[in-house]
Structure 1
Amino acid sequence: MTLPVTRPLLAITLVRHPDFTAGQDMQNGLMEHFTGDPDHTLGERLGVPVEQRGPNTVPLDFGASEMTAVIVLADAALAGDPAWVAWVEDMVVACDTPDLRNRPFLVCLDKSALSMSRKVGRFNFLRWDQWEGNKDEKTQRMLTDLDYQCCRMLRAWISQRVTRNRACRDAFSEYLSNVQLFLSHSKHDADKTGEALATAIRNHLHQGSGYGSFFDVHDIPAGMPFDDVLMHSVRRSAFLAIITDSYSSREWCRREVIEAKRTGVPMVVAHAVTDREERSFPYLGNIPVVRLDPGHTHRIPLVVGRLIREVLRDYLWQCRCVLVSAAAKRGRVTFVPRTPELIALTAVRRRSGLVVYPDPPMAKEEAELFNEVAPRVTLLSFTQWLARA
């Protein structure tokens, strides 16, 4: 089997004026966010290559990766330096192509950056200078917004690769559409914790973030069967399970989780149990968990940020699967978007074959259990599969 030799799927280029010394911490945080903290496990790292560029460095090579996101930290020092402004002008013009493979993301740290030039001013900025909150809160918002914009790039790329004979305007439409987020919660807590948290998260999502959301009280059209609408929405959304005391005891919450797991959508658990659960729902494993304190909203941006990060991770996985799709079809490979658990067998039409999942390789004890239940199914991480192929 011959697999394609590919460039990196997504590369990040950081642009920071050398006189913006306060931006060094911001630059380091961006590099760690996209490349990954070496103290974390491989499964938590995005592994997106990051490099710094400017007028006095090696020229940008947009052909070195499938997609390139150029993040410009636009402050007063950059806006006041003609050489840097000219370089940024040339960069944004080079990025502005119909295929949307390369995008400039300009972070406005000082209002003076908005008047750099007409060429740069055509592009919308992330308005750090107008955001409320302290530095950490604004940094969290910036990272989440940049993750979200990268999600749009990857989704547009997938659209073009899957539908090769269609015009770039299809990718443009795909780029502009919102990512849908499904808020799964219980309305049967004694203190209404689940519903209150879901409402607070929904309000946060609609404060200019550009995300879509699904909230059954508001979004099920009159005249439509609620069960069909719920399952349809689960299958096309990133899934946030707001776990409160009564969540796992509710039939519809369990059905939503199972459907999300069966269809492989990005998932995160917001853990908000205040007293106890009567049972722990087994299909909430192998997904990130973030603590969400009932009655408080200060951690909602962290929860949403982690969910968007899982969406980005999922799009990176989908892109890899698209690149190797021909080889996968020949090898009868089933790709699953997270470390396999027994419910992953529902994705394997025959109880034999090869299942490939994202790195890192699963633990030995988990693999042995899986082999007892389905001895004819072979499990390999993506790197293991590439090495064998």
Structure 2
Amino acid sequence: MPIPPILDVFVVWHPDDEGGVKRFRELQDHFHSSAFSGLVGGAVEVYARSEAWSTDGAPRPFGIRTPLADELPAAQFNAIVPVLSKEMARAAASGGWKQFIAEIGALADLPGVGVFSLPSAGVDLQSGALSVALGPFQVLPQDVVENPKMLGRELDQAIAQKIRSEDDQAARITVFVSHSKHRSLSEDDEAPAIYSLVRERIAESRLAEFFDAHDIQVGDRWVEELEQNASEHALLIVRTDRYAERPWTQREVKAAKTAEVPVVTMYAIRSGEQQGSFLMDHVPTVVCDLDNRIPGIEAALDALVTEALKSTLWNAQRSYLKADGFDWLPARSPEPTTIASWLTTHKAEHPDDQHIWIMHPDPPLGQAERDVLIQMVELAGYSDDVNIYTPRTFAARGGEVK
């Protein structure tokens, strides 16, 4: 079935503001990156609202309250990002721009709409036309204006929090930081030190409004908590030299993957690994330079915020994809760890099911990976009709399960 857009991002700026088009291109690059490209086509789009559309100088309407055309339905979630400038402030005092800015404020009262203003230097949100229409809404920090990565992270966080709050989910996500608790000669006790630095970086940023970082202690009942409410959790793996061989870290990763929570691995390996573990793969990874840790930690946190938003958007698409008859719609590509657990549950709950249809975000699995999973499914007793799709491979087959 056709899937409506899930998230539309509208970047609004005055035509005389040179910085506005830069912010638009930065957000285009961010939301068109590989992190979001794996969702069902058209899931996330970024639109510009700047040039005059009517004789009064106002930009084109958003199409949120009233669709622009029958074939252009409004997205399920809409993020409006006004790039505030002195030029916009002057234009908003009268005429078409005044009405356009007022409409942004009115749209914010609708479900599924968030307004996230981005102020330029010297813009006063305490008085004037912009303060009346946009003052009550969330303002992104000004220091992200010249930092595209931070701009992407701040907006990802703001959108995810908005969607989660409307879905009656907790605004904050508990980030379990999984690390090796006992030192080896090569690690020199680096994992606990990195964990402490992760907490410091979260506490010193606006991520504290989104992430609640917790160390996983041996004996904790965090697995039960994670399984009961997976949507409120994420896992950051600090992978040092001995991490992959520790029994408890393997259990932590397995539990997180089975519960389908966002997972990001930060490589902090100094000497190397003897064996590694197949449990640790199939997740986004970031490299942390142990002699300069902060950039790697920041990159890992960026990736975790993006994974949280991506997971939220995929969950929104699931309700439409289920109508096509898919049995499983995991937020990450399936792997032996996750498919074994899912097959056990599925076989118990649907003993008479004759097919296995799976869809996961792009990119598709490699042929060798797919062959292993198909073999596992067949060993579980399903051999007549087994298909593993991504949105692109599904579309290439005409949008029908065959």
Query: Is 1:315 paired with 2:318?
Result: no
CA pair 41-322 structure 1, distance change in 2 beyond 3 A = closer
**Residue from 202, 214, 220 that aligns with 1:227:** 220
User: 4+ residue stretches of structure 1 with deviation over 6 A?
Assistant: none
Question: What is the TM-score when the length of structure 1 is the normalising length?
Answer: 0.82
Counterpart AA for 1:380: Y
Q: Which string of whole-angstrom CA distances, capped at 9 and with x for unpartnered residues, describes residues 7-65 of structure 1?
A: 2011111111222213332221111111237xx99549995111111453321111521
What secondary structure is seen at the aligned counterpart in 2 of 1:155?
Answer: helix
Q: Secondary structure at the match of 2:200?
A: helix
1:90 aligned to 99, 103, 118, which one?
103
**SS in structure 2 of the partner of residue 256 of structure 1:** helix
Counterpart pick for 1:271 among 261, 267, 271:
267
**Is 2:80 the counterpart of 1:70?**
yes
Corresponding position of 1:347: 342
1:105 equivalent among 88, 93, 116: 116
Q: Which amino acid aligns with 1:334?
A: W
Structure 1 match to 2:54: none
Letter in 1 for 2:100: W
Q: Which has the larger radius of gyration?
A: 2
- Residue type of the alignment partner of 1:344: T
Q: Is the 8 A contact 2:118 2:142 kept in 1?
A: yes
Superposition deviation, residue 323 in structure 1: 2.8
Specify the SS of the correspondent of 2:80: strand
1:85 and 1:284 mapped to 2: Cα distance?
Answer: 53
Distance 2:273 2:295 in 1: 24
1:180 counterpart residue number: 174
Q: What SS class does the counterpart of residue 215 from structure 1 fall into?
A: strand
- Counterpart residue type for residue 378 of structure 1: N
State TM-score, norm by structure 2: 0.79
Deviates more, 1:49-58 or 1:267-276: 49-58
CA contact (8 A) 1:270 1:303 kept: yes
Secondary structure, in 3 states, of the residue corresponding to 2:221?
helix
Q: What does residue 360 of structure 1 align with?
A: 363
Summarize the Cα distance change of 1:155–1:124 in structure 2 as closer, same or farther, 3 Å threshold: closer
The number of residue pairs the alignment matches comes to 353
Q: Residue 91 of structure 1: CA displacement? A: 0.9
Which stretch of the first structure deviates more once superposed, 84-93 or 361-370?
84-93
**Cα distance, 1:46–1:360 mapped onto 2, change above 3 Å:** farther
The match for 1:121 is 135
How many Å separate the matches in 1 of 2:113 and 2:200? 32
Shift of the alpha carbon at 1:253?
1.1
Unaligned runs of 5+ in 1: 160-170
Task: Please tell me the root mean square deviation across aligned C-alpha atoms, in Å.
Answer: 2.7
The alignment status of 1:57 with 2:59, answered yes or no, reads yes
Once the two structures are overlaid, the 10-residue window that deviates more, 374-383 or 48-57, is: 374-383
1: CA distance between counterparts of 2:176 and 2:98?
Answer: 41
| Aligned counterparts of 1:322 and 1:154: Cα–Cα separation in 2 | 15
Shift of 1:385: 4.8
**2:351 corresponds to which residue?**
none
Match of 1:27 in 2: 24
Give the whole-Å Cα distance in 1 for the aligned partners of 2:298 and 2:62.
33
1:148 pairs with 2:143: no
Q: 1:320 to 1:118 in 2, by over 3 A?
A: same
Separation in structure 1 between the aligned mates of residue 135 and residue 59 of structure 2, nearest angstrom? 24
Work out the CA distance in 1 between the residues paired with 2:3 and 2:263: 28
* Compared CA separation, residues 13 and 60, structure 1 to 2 (3 A): same
Instruction: Give the 3 Å change call, closer, same or farther, for CA 316–47 of structure 1 in structure 2.
Output: same
Alignment of 1:257-268 (within 5 A): 257-268=253-264
SS in 2 for 1:27: helix
1-structure distance, mates of 2:42, 2:239: 26
Once the two structures are superposed, residues 192-247 of structure 1 have per-residue CA deviations (whole angstroms, 9 ceiling, x without a partner) of 21111111111111223212323237xx7xxxx93313552474411111101121
AA of the residue aligned to 2:195: A
Q: Tell me by how many angstroms 1:277 deviates.
A: 1.6
Q: Which moved more, 1:8-17 or 1:190-199?
A: 190-199
Paired residues of 2:5 and 2:43 also in contact (CA < 8 A):
no
Per-residue CA distance 1:170-190 (angstroms, 9 max, x = gap): x4xx3x621222211112234
Q: Which residue identity does 1:91 align to in structure 2? A: I
> What CA distance in whole angstroms lies between the structure 1 residues aligned with 2:259 and 2:372?
22
Task: Give the CA deviation at 1:86.
Answer: 4.4
Report the Cα offset of residue 153 of structure 1: 3.3
* % same residue: 22
**Distance in 2 separating the partners of 1:8 and 1:46:** 6
Shift of 1:383: 4.7
Gap change, CA 1:332 and 1:143, over 3 Å in 2 = closer
Report which of the two has the higher share of helix.
1
TM-fit CA distance, 1:156: 4.2
Asked if 1:250 is matched to 2:246, the reply is yes
1:73-95 deviations in Å (ceiling 9; x for gaps): 11222223225354223212222
Distance in structure 2 (CA, Å) of the matches to 1:61 and 1:78: 21
Counterparts of 2:42 and 2:193 in 1: how far apart (Å)? 32
Q: For structure 2, which runs of at least 5 residues remain unmatched after alignment?
A: 51-56, 68-73, 348-354
